[in-house]
Structure 1
Amino acid sequence: MKSVRLAIQFLSLLLVLALPGVAHSEDSAKKITVATTVAPITNIVQNVAAGLANVTGIVPDGTDSHTFEPAPADAKILGAADIIIVNGLDLELPTVKLAEKVKKATTEILRLGNRTLRKEDWRYDFSFPREHGHPNPHLWPNIALAAQYAKIIRDSLVALDPAHREGYIANTATYLAKLRKLDNAIFACVKTIPQQNRKLVTYHDSFAYFAPRYGMKVIAAIQPSDFSEPGPQEIIRVIKQIKREKVPAIFGSEVFPSKVMEQIARETGVKFIDQLSDDELPASPNNSFIGMMTNNMAVMTEALGGNTRCVASVDTSNAAP
């Protein structure tokens, strides 16, 4: 009788382990491998995964993502990935081309921008003219769109790794709450800026999706579509526009150092601030996408005559792995 009971218990255990949705301890411990590109997207993925997946970004922090060429070592990372998450909208063309060659047959290339915006909502501008066919890909400074990125990442990781479904859902809920606070803080910052100063002149046109959401206007972007320095006629046009619009400050970036912006600032008598970032995360303790955007708003708000207390309570921390 005892041997019969033991046999029944053993068979029952096998049946339970075979049931759908019952995670084996070995399966639960196994982590999928995720390859990403630019630092803000890598950081969003890290906050959604929060230790449940191995996440590797291949574009070094602060590197020009438009001109980045992947190295041979990156081919190994892309080839081993279970999913490759990119911004899309033609931002990382050399990386995507390499990924398509070396990835596993089952590995998806998830293009976040293409999944987030309809084609009719893509933006074109001086740095990304319509006739060149490449839209402005900088969706993430618009926090509502960054939140969409997080949701798409969550759903894709859940589909690929259902054993960690509850973890991805919980991590994303926490992260979305942080993004909502950041979004509200940006609105509050812009409200403190005098109406006539809510104008942006930047070197690289990274704020095309940011400005309309928060009630600002992009007056000009200095860098042409071929990522060179602008010519004399373009410089003259921008100088006249800045004087006409009475813009109090223009913004550059350490990623895109430009003597031209210093020249324009001298000619127009406005402040030149070279501290905005669209893909370089700040140093610790604010080493996160939310930290980057918080720093941007502090810099932008102060330079345009607003009050930086609006971002004082934003949580810039990353999820614990």
Structure 2
Amino acid sequence: MRRLLALGLIAGTTGLALPAWADPLRVVTSFSVLTDMVEQVGGEQVEVTSLVGRDSDTHAFSPSPGDARRIAEADLVVFNGLQLEGWMERLIEASSYRGPLVVASRGITPLGGDEAHADDGHVQKGDAHGSHDAEAHGHEDHGHGHDEPSHDHEHEAEGHEGHDHGEMDPHAWLDVTRAQQYVVNIRDGLIEADPGHAETYRRNAAGYLDELAALDEEIHVLMADIPVENRLVVTGHDSFNYFADAYDVRFLSPVGLSTVNEPSAALMARLIDTLEEQQVKALFYENITNPALIEQLAEEAGLPIAGTLYSGALAADGDASTYAGMMRHNATRIHDALAKSAD
């Protein structure tokens, strides 16, 4: 805002017509998935800083004074909501940031804890497709809360101590259709913060939404190629409920919605029994969870580990270093492990 006022003074004294921003819009995001989405929509007009880095765990993140300074200097702040960032409200208050906020998940009906904990093996069921708003792109509340100077902004209960998601699963980006609502909210937040480049943001968002729609169809085709009885995936924690819901796949994990949880010995024993009963074909590492749990399951159940899936953070490089690449990587790894096991 200070830069905008300065530009206005310069334009008024020189008579020059200056662009809306002489420098890229400074955007701070909570984690790397949102960073990529903002970069896809913002293009060269944005400079994005992620508080939680690539291959890093948002659940276990503890903000520093430097993070508060980054937010204080931002022109726009983007975070997930749905209780993912239990530290965000306190961080914004500490920074005294008064600018626009984007709650990227605004407009999405969250899945609750019941979907994430269907039994003692933490089965995430993929048996419903109607829990999100298929017409969410047309909603009028874009989730950037600019009329709320108190920073209440429906922080989605972000004031909870620790990293407990309660009864709400925050990992909505793992369904590409729901992720398109993230893109719409980000687009509208960028337009609010930098209306001079509104057409650029609309054009970039439209192209990105088309790309994601094609990706969603691609994932549906890959999952449909796996026999129904083989569509059971074991990962490090309960992060794939939305993927399960969207693409008709079941997931098992040794821990709940937060990676800071640790499974009991009794739960691990029950899960091993479940793997045998369900004739699970393969296990997967998850990039932000402790690999020891999956390795223990693999050893005790005699199952192969088929690779790494990405849930709460993008990879530092490679094919999972963008959101679209991450989703394609996950779907391809699951398909290759479970479709081949049917041969």
TM score, norm. by length of structure 2: 0.75
Partner of 2:103: 111
Q: Residue deviations 1:57-91, cap 9 Å, x none?
A: 11111111111012222111111112210011111
SS where residue 301 of structure 1 aligns?
Answer: helix
Asked if 2 retains the 8 angstrom alpha-carbon contact of 1:123 and 1:208, the reply is no
> Aligned pair count?
282
Q: How far apart are 1:301 and its partner, in Å?
A: 1.0
State the alpha-carbon separation in 2 of the partners of residues 284 and 258 from structure 1. Answer: 20
Query: Secondary structure of 2:305's partner?
Result: strand
> Hey, what's the Cα distance between the residues in 2 that align with 1:175 and 1:225?
29
- Residue 100 (structure 1) aligns with: 93
Ranges in structure 2 where 5+ consecutive residues have no aligned partner: 1-10, 123-163
**Equivalent residues in 2 for 1:11-50 (5 A)?**
24-50=17-43
For residues 306 and 40 of structure 1, do their structure 2 counterparts lie closer, same or farther at Cα, with a shift above 3 Å needed? farther
Tell me how far 1:53 sits from its aligned partner: 2.0
Give, in angstroms, the shift of residue 162 of structure 1. Answer: 1.1
Q: CA RMSD in A?
A: 2.6
Distance 1:75 1:136 in 2: 26
Name the TM-score, length of structure 1 as normaliser: 0.80
Does residue 140 of the first structure (1) align with residue 132 of the second (2)?
no
Query: Which one of the candidate residues 308, 316, 324 is aligned to 1:275?
Result: 308
Using a 3 Å threshold, how does the CA distance of structure 1 residues 199 and 24 change in structure 2: closer, same or farther?
farther
Identity of aligned residues (%): 30
Q: What residue identity is the alignment partner of 2:109?
A: R
Structure 2 Cα separation of the partners of residues 272 and 182 of structure 1: 26
Between the aligned partners of 1:285 and 1:267, the Cα distance in structure 2 is 31
Amino acid at match of 1:235: M
Rounded to whole Å, the distance in 2 between the matches of 1:178 and 1:123 is 31
* Aligned counterpart, 1:9: none
Would the alpha carbon gap of residues 43 and 266 (structure 1) be closer, same or farther in structure 2, given more than 3 Å must change? same
Q: Check conservation: 2:281, 2:303, Cα contact below 8 A.
A: yes
Q: Cα distance, 1:306 vs. partner?
A: 4.9
Q: Is 2:40 the partner of 1:79? A: no
Aligned partners of 1:103 and 1:24: how far apart in 2? Answer: 32
Residues of 2 paired with 1:108 and 1:100: CA distance? 14
Radius of gyration: which is bigger?
1
- Structure with greater proportional helix content: 1
Q: Secondary structure at the match of 2:87?
A: helix
- The answer for the alignment partner of 1:159 in structure 2 is 192
**Relative to structure 2, which stretch is displaced further, 69-78 or 160-169?**
69-78
* Counterpart code for 2:322: S
Aligned mates of 2:87, 2:335 — CA distance in 1 = 36
Alpha-carbon distance, 1:26 to partner: 3.5
- The 1:298–1:168 alpha-carbon spacing in structure 2 relative to 1, beyond 3 Å, is same
